[in-house]
Structure 1
Amino acid sequence: MHSPHTRRRLPQCLIIGVRKAGSRALLNFLNLHSKIQTARREVHFFDHDNNYSQGYDWYRQQMPYTFKDQITIEKSPSYFVVKGVPERVYQMNSTIRLLLIVREPVARAVSDYLQIRDVRLNRGKIMEPFETLAIDNETGEINRSYNAIKRSVYHRHLQKWLLFFDLDQIHIIDGDNLVKRPWEEMYMAEEFLGLEHEIKEENFVFNSTRGFFCTVLNSQQQHCLSQGKGRPHPAIDKNVLRKLKDFFRPLNEKFFHLVGQSFNW
């Protein structure tokens, strides 16, 4: 049941990525705000042709019921990297607000690898070590065609969004700081969304067992991300990590210049 004063609305804000940078945590934390309602699942409307062909009415039906003064947010991290998505989003709503969460690119690439590896292992399949995929066996250089690497080249993907949207429509969230001090990132997100500040430091409690912050639903109950989130990283060959750090350094600088903001990478 839903209130007769509510209805389903197309999202006024999208979390467009980045995959494995903390987008699920971001969505959960934003959901603490009374003026925000979030779609329960990743709809993949703009990046899956079959879904997009269903039209806006179908997309609206995937959204939660909201009051007129609430903001509807949908999250599909693959939106950031899939060709054609920025134009499709622009055609729906040229004034939409976009949330982009980024993370140190090497750690993000390793997390990307781990997620796919775990899925394959659960299906009884094997997967090559990260080092084998990240380094070209013939040249010994970074394998630029490996998807986990390509997704971390943030400036190239963002440039495609900036063909359609002004930078002031895109709020960049520091995924590394979201892990350490989530209330700081939430404060800035509320500012960007034009909302009163409701999400406070006391809404978070550090779960020492999980190793990250969970939200407090009331004085006693915690809500944490699923067990698959925050999975420990395997030991990666130090030479490979060094090569990756060197590879991303100039690319990171291009991203910093593009957004007018620096991160501790």
Structure 2
Amino acid sequence: MGCSICRTRLNFGRALSKVSLFFTMLLIFMYFFYCFSGLCNSIPRTQFNLQTLTPEYASQNELKERDGSAVRSVSYDEVLLASSSIQPQIPDSIERESLPSNGISVSNTFGSKKFPQAIIIGVKKGGTRALLEFLRIHPDVRAVGAEPHFFDRFYDKGLEWYRHLMPRTIDGQITMEKTPSYFVTKEAPSRLCALNCQTKLIVVVRDPVTRAVSDYTQTLSKSPGLPSFETLVYKNATSRTIDVSWSAVRIGMYAKHLENWLQHFPLSSFLFVSGERLVSDPAGEMGRVQDFLGLKRIVSDKHFYFNQTKGFPCLKKPEGSSRPRCLGKSKGRTHPHIPAEVLQNLREFYRPFNLRFYHMSGQDFGWD
């Protein structure tokens, strides 16, 4: 009798152990299922505040005093990883380009957001958009699609805001952005150097006369009632004095703007890309760019074909697509007719600036 009771209890204990094991395995299975399906991300996480960082951690990310304002050193990459609760505002134009229709970033899983190691700083209507699109083919380049305009328009928003605009990168990848107006903005060099004086700077330059006409053509497409090019280019129509206050003229005075940048960055920090060669020999010019950035030469002839209608090269394999693609309708506009005398006067005005720029950059672009 006693043995029968013992056996019953033993069997019940074994059954209870099997039930417990079953439920334990079930819970483990459900946990892994939720994790693999991405639902683990909904689990609350500890939020950090920059103000509550320990003295030891804060000392590694101490502030630098530059130009009378406090600026974080580049080493505070780690701080942003700890401060995931900070959500700076992003311009609509950038947000739309970096986020898909569901509002969730497609690259929010791997890597981290870093300040750009290289920036295309100029010039407007020189070929900066084409250069950026060509560079984005390279697997080791991640770039902001829209122009952040941080160092000229939105500097007061702070470095946190600026970094948040950057794409995530992994080891071996370069973060880049382009804002052509940086080159002609007086405050941009000192502001950028306060962040990182080792930043690599790319300037796409083009015959300043052609560039000015292209600039005017773009503005005319948006404002059909704009005065003629001849009216705007002259400060005094009688004396034929060129109006340097007109931005279409001022931007092409490359030597003047470069002087401002060389007060903060050495010449070795710059690569001057020919806008003309970017059209006639995109692979050759892209080879120079990849060498300057320390990248393997991946972007080559196989990526380009020349579009006779538009008059410039297009991509056979643009980023994220297997179909050929040219730049938008705004590229390759037909220029309005401008009297040859006006163009010649403008060319004579630019000649001393061009020669000086050739000397400063160490390159003869052959515009004269």
Alpha-carbon separation, structure 2, partners of 1:246 and 1:2? 50
Name structure 2 gaps, 5 residues minimum.
1-105
Q: Which runs of 4+ in 1 moved over 4 A?
A: none
Question: Aligned residue for 2:186?
Answer: 83
Matches within 5 A, 1:1-265: 1-2=106-107, 4-48=109-153, 51-121=154-224, 126-135=225-234, 136-217=236-317, 221-265=323-367
Q: Higher mean Cα deviation, 177-186 or 140-149?
A: 140-149
Distance in 2 (alpha carbons) for counterparts of 1:2 and 1:175: 32
TM-score (norm 2): 0.68
Give the TM-score normalised by the residue count of structure 1.
Answer: 0.94
Residues of 1 paired with 2:194 and 2:322: CA distance? 45
Amino acid at match of 1:104: D
Distance 1:29 1:103 in 2: 17
User: What stretches of structure 1 of length at least 5 have no aligned partner?
Assistant: none
Amino acid at match of 2:134: F
AA paired with 1:202? K
**Structure 1 counterpart SS, 2:121:** strand
- In 2, Cα distance between equivalents of 1:220 and 1:67: 24
Deviations 1:100-138 (A, max 9, x none): 0000010001111111111223xxxx1000011112224
Report deviation, 1:216.
1.2
Q: Conserved in 1, the CA contact under 8 Å of 2:107 and 2:167?
A: no
CA–CA distance in structure 2, aligned partners of residues 184 and 3 of structure 1: 34
Give the number of the structure whose residues are more often helix, by fraction. 2
Q: Which has the larger radius of gyration?
A: 2
Tell me which moved more, 58-67 or 162-171. Answer: 58-67
The residue type equivalent to 2:311 in the other structure is: G
**Percent identity at matched positions?**
41
- Measure, in 2, the Cα distance between the counterparts of 1:56 and 1:145: 31
